[in-house]
Structure 1
Amino acid sequence: MHKFITLLALLPFMVLANENSLTCYVVGVSDGDTLSCFDAENRKTEKIRLRGIDAPEAKQPFGQRSKQSLSSLAHDQAATVKWSKRDRWGRIIGAVWVEPVDCHGCGHTLDVGRAQLSVGMAWWFRRYANEQPDEERQQYKFEEREAKARRVGLWQEMKPVPPWEWRKR
């Protein structure tokens, strides 16, 4: 029994240790937390759902602004995707890294999910926080807290409705 409990405790770390890396080119943005990336090596386009965030739905306040924000960060950019799972629709769930627009030659150093949080265009998706590496989880938590404190993006609203509640309605 003790070995089983130890195995369960280590499972999240084992999954993250087996993280895959995909190099691709961002060819489309569906909304503030989903994009399409062309994988030239395998000659296919993959849907990528950004790990750790949930952005407003299209008809929700800030839905279109969130999509525009992600587009300005990632569309028409080479990207590196760090991932370890797919969702039930076959989308890759991962962190997407691109070169910052203002830092040519820096490489893929901008985490677009974290950037979306920092400008108030998404919520940190606590429900799936255990699927994030610890450092990423702490950074995302911090960025959401700072965006709230600065009242930027969707945090300008008195009581912004999280997308998981919006979808239930």
Structure 2
Amino acid sequence: MKKTADGFAIAWLHLAIFLIAIGACPVWAESGKVTRVTDGDTLWIRLAGGGKPVKVRIEGIDAPEICQAGGRAARAALASKVARRVVTLDIRRHDDYGRAVASVQVDGEDIAGWMVGQGHAWSYRYGREGGPYLKRQLQAETARRGLFADPQALPPRLFRKQHGSCHP
């Protein structure tokens, strides 16, 4: 019986690791106060446990670079929604730049969805997939909200390819 129980526990552990790896469940949940907004998809949060603020990249969106058209408006929109407020985050992973990648909510509202819906960010594309907020992006495009009012608006990934990062 012990062998069966051990096998069952190992199977559950493998399932949990798989779900975390594909982003189906958060690695951990936290709350904290936003201390700074860097751009339309990056902010700094002092976690409830204290310590130095943590740099967080909002999962599922790509906002214009700060030096790109719409970049300052995206930062201002995000700041108006979350600055100095307590937010809840589900941290999924850390990116190549050491930022925590997380979904962020304020008063139960998904901030990434709000940013896309207001026309301040694109749904982050995964290969050929339109990303998690494609429906909201299409609604914002149809309504010509924010950056989608400009037919020449350039997705940040293309801007970075042409001009590089605003942050050397």
TM-score interval, smaller chain: 0.7 to 0.9
Shift of 1:155: 0.5
User: RMSD across aligned C-alpha pairs, in angstroms?
Assistant: 2.3
Alignment partner, residue 59 of structure 1 = 67
Is the 2:42–2:57 Cα contact (8 Å) retained in structure 1? yes
Percent identity at matched positions? 28
Larger-Rg structure: 2
Cα pair distance change 1:18/1:56, threshold 3 Å: closer
TM-score by length of 2: 0.79
- TM-superposition CA deviations, 1:33-72 (whole Å, max 9, x none): 0000001314221001000100011121111000000000
Asked if 1:160 corresponds to 2:153, the answer is: yes
Alignment partner, residue 115 of structure 2 = 116
Is the 1:52–1:128 Cα contact (8 Å) retained in structure 2? no
State the aligned residue count: 145
Is the 1:52–1:129 Cα contact (8 Å) retained in structure 2? no
**1:1-169 paired onto structure 2 within 5 Å:** 11=18, 13-15=19-21, 16-99=24-107, 109-127=108-126, 137=132, 140-169=133-162
Q: Any unmatched runs of 5+ in structure 1?
A: 1-6, 100-108
Instruction: Tell me the distance in 1 between the aligned counterparts of 2:68 and 2:95.
Output: 23
Shift of 1:150: 0.4
SS at structure 1 position matched to 2:36: strand
Instruction: Tell me the distance in 1 between the aligned counterparts of 2:128 and 2:106.
Output: 22
